[in-house]
Amino acid sequence: MNASEIGEFLVVLLILIGSIISVISALGIIRFPDVYTRSHAATKSATLGVLLSLTGAFIYIWLTDHFISVRLILGILFVFITAPVSGHLIIRAAYRSHVEMTEDTVEDELKPVLNDKR
Amino acid sequence: MIKIMLTAALVLFSVAIAIALYRIISGPSLPDRVVAMDMIVVNLISAVAIISILLETKAFLEVILILGILAFISTIALSKYVERGVIIERKRNR
């Protein structure tokens, strides 16, 4: 096993860790009680999983083909920028359209702010 | 060894997609379903990356970028629909 094979093995291990994180995020999306905690699971750890696997694919192509893929770098940057923004927008829309929180919620700091504005 | 690990990662991503599909079917509200749709597309991006490693080609790398852009635009359109009821607003004075 020479140096290049060890490098490929580490890169594939990175991809495998990303897929395990993605499965953990899917378990979070099925186990959490309301939409806010579910989006907490879905946006953070699914984004981390896809970033790990895309970085792994980028380094793998770099090691095997000696080809730096600019499209893959752009894809990594785009997912990293837009995934939290889309999570924020959909959760803001969910709060504005009065989706119920779970009963364990102890504090809602946004409610008096919105009531003062109206 | 590398091929086995890549196949295992692909299987794990498809398990994540299947679980998110369950949340789409049984989600109690519309934002639940939109969040699960966003997560399905994000997992699909990494599945495309793994498939392009397994097939040893560089032809699928545009698909990653285009799926990212489509997921962002569709999530923003759906959140505007949930919040206001319309996606493209009319001009106000007329």
Tell me: the pLDDT tens digits for B66-90? Answer: 999 999 999 999 999 988 888 888 8
CB contact under 8 A, B15 and A23: yes
**Would you give the end-to-end CA distance of chain B in angstroms?**
67
Integer Cα distance of B21 and A74 in angstroms: 28
Residues A56 and A15: beta-carbon distance below 8 Å:
yes
A114: contact with B, CB 8 A cutoff = no
The answer to whether residue A6 neighbours chain B at the CB level (below 8 Å) is no
Confidence tier at B16 by pLDDT (50, 70, 90):
very high
Which two structure tokens, joined as six digits, stand for A105? 């919620």
Instruction: Give the per-residue pLDDT at B94.
Output: 60
Give the minimum alpha-carbon distance from B59 to chain A in angstroms, rounded to a whole number.
Answer: 11
Q: What is the pLDDT of residues B1-15, one digit of tens each?
A: 888 989 999 999 999
The radius of gyration computed from the CA coordinates of chain A, to the nearest angstrom, equals 19
Q: Which helix (H) or strand (E) holds A52?
A: helix A35-65
Which pLDDT tens digit goes with each residue over B40-58?
999 999 999 999 999 988 8
Q: What is the mean pLDDT of chain B?
A: 89
Name residues of chain A where pLDDT drops below 50: none
Chain-chain contact of A69 with B29 (C-beta, under 8 angstroms): no
| Check: complex ipTM more than 0.95 | no
Give the count of Cβ contacts less than 8 A between chain A and B: 167
Task: Give the residue on A whose Cα is nearest the Cα of B25.
Answer: A30
pLDDT band at B27 (very low <50, low <70, confident <90, very high): confident
